[in-house]
Structure 1
Amino acid sequence: MSDIVIISGSPSDNSKTKKVLNYFGTFLEKEGFSISHISVRDVSKDVLFEGKYDSPEIQNIATLLQDAKGIIIGSPVYKGAYSGVLKTLIDVLPQDVLKQTPVLPLMTGGSPAHLMALDYALKPVLASLKAHNLKGIYLVDAQIDKQGEIPIIDEETLKRTEKQLYYFTKLVNNSIFN
């Protein structure tokens, strides 16, 4: 069992979203948490396309999520929302898979104009899975360097992000949710 499960909703293997999520995993491992990563890219296409909610693959993902103390889920913004493949994965998961689990949502986008996708697209669908949503983090592509060890290049944004991660760890450690 992992303390924290990190889900990448990016269909690209080399995305800025994935780079930031990997950094979050490294950050949280240094804080003493065990981490598992799930990428929509790793889920069988036929399972997603055919909506095989009862497949062993989806059941394994659901169990991993239900056993986690916390979840981080990230997606790039596409057409004002999260990725379609992430929606497809969410659609085949059990309705209460994130019940009372602290969830830190992350979205990355090309401009600040897409900031509201976090509040109006991703967070409501997580709430429908009974997640305990945190404020969330939105990063503009210009704030991310895919080549850097720490991908968030703006110091103020990095401090704000780390503050959210520390708050997330407090909730993960809070016995109310475990």
Structure 2
Amino acid sequence: MPSILVLAGSPSPTSRTAALAEHLAGRLRGDGHAVRVVRVRDLPAEALLSADAGDPAIAEVVTALAEADGVLVASPVYKAAYSGVLKALLDLLPQFALADKVVLPVLTGGSPAHVLAVDYALRPVLSSLGAHHVVQGWFVLDKHITTTDDVLALAPEAQRPLHDVVDGFSAALHSRRALLTAP
């Protein structure tokens, strides 16, 4: 069973992005993956801001990342890029932390003008960390995500294409796993 680490990079305690990351984690679990979600905002701020890779919580994330077959990176867009808290974590990772991984970038934002942040802000960083395969990423408008009593709803115009991208990520992971375990 392929394993996936989901990095939810929103700094907000009540985040549509984090709720979306949890929703996508559930979909991936339903497709036979072992999934762990890490809300980056819950990691020790002192360790993130002082680049303390030796902090036990940071070291645990690095270990989980090393053991994962795939990584889903979700973040809201701020100033045409992914969040600073996500950047702080990515800066702490070993140089080739994403080597041999299949990676799915997912961003959320308030305007379609931010859609290019997937390919021009997040994808280059993921590639520089040695990602084996960065699948087609996706951008979801904030207005297409609603949460009520911890239940997420996606607008139909966002749900189908996003689920198609996530299903493609899942298929890439299953294919990669089959290649690695073939006799």
TM-score (norm 2): 0.90
Partner of residue 162, structure 1: 163
Instruction: Quote the Cα distance in structure 2 between the aligned partners of 1:56 and 1:20.
Output: 27
Report deviation, 1:55: 2.8
Show structure 2 runs of 5+ residues with no match: none
Partner of residue 13, structure 2: 13
Report deviation, 1:114: 0.7
Report deviation, 1:68: 0.6
Report deviation, 1:150: 4.3
Report deviation, 1:19: 1.1
Partner of residue 136, structure 2: 135
Q: Deviations over 1:31-71 (max 9, x none)?
A: 12111111111211111111112333222211101111111
Instruction: Quote the Cα distance in structure 1 between the aligned partners of 2:104 and 2:124.
Output: 13
Partner-residue secondary structure (3-state), 1:27: helix
Q: Deviations over 1:88-118 (max 9, x none)?
A: 1100111111102111101000010111111
Q: Contact 1:19/1:151 (CA < 8 Å) preserved in 2?
A: no
- The two structures, once aligned, show a CA RMSD in angstroms of 1.8
Number of residue pairs aligned between Structure 1 and Structure 2: 177
Instruction: Quote the Cα distance in structure 2 between the aligned partners of 1:161 and 1:45.
Output: 31
Q: Contact 2:2/2:70 (CA < 8 Å) preserved in 1?
A: no
TM-score (norm 1): 0.93
Instruction: Quote the Cα distance in structure 2 between the aligned partners of 1:92 and 1:19.
Output: 25
Instruction: Quote the Cα distance in structure 2 between the aligned partners of 1:141 and 1:157.
Output: 10
Deviation beyond 4 Å, 4+ runs, structure 1: none
Partner of residue 151, structure 1: 153
Q: Contact 2:102/2:173 (CA < 8 Å) preserved in 1?
A: yes
Return closer, same or farther for 1:2/1:13 CA change in 2, 3 Å cut-off: farther
Instruction: Quote the Cα distance in structure 1 between the aligned partners of 2:134 and 2:180.
Output: 12
Instruction: Quote the Cα distance in structure 2 between the aligned partners of 1:127 and 1:14.
Output: 29
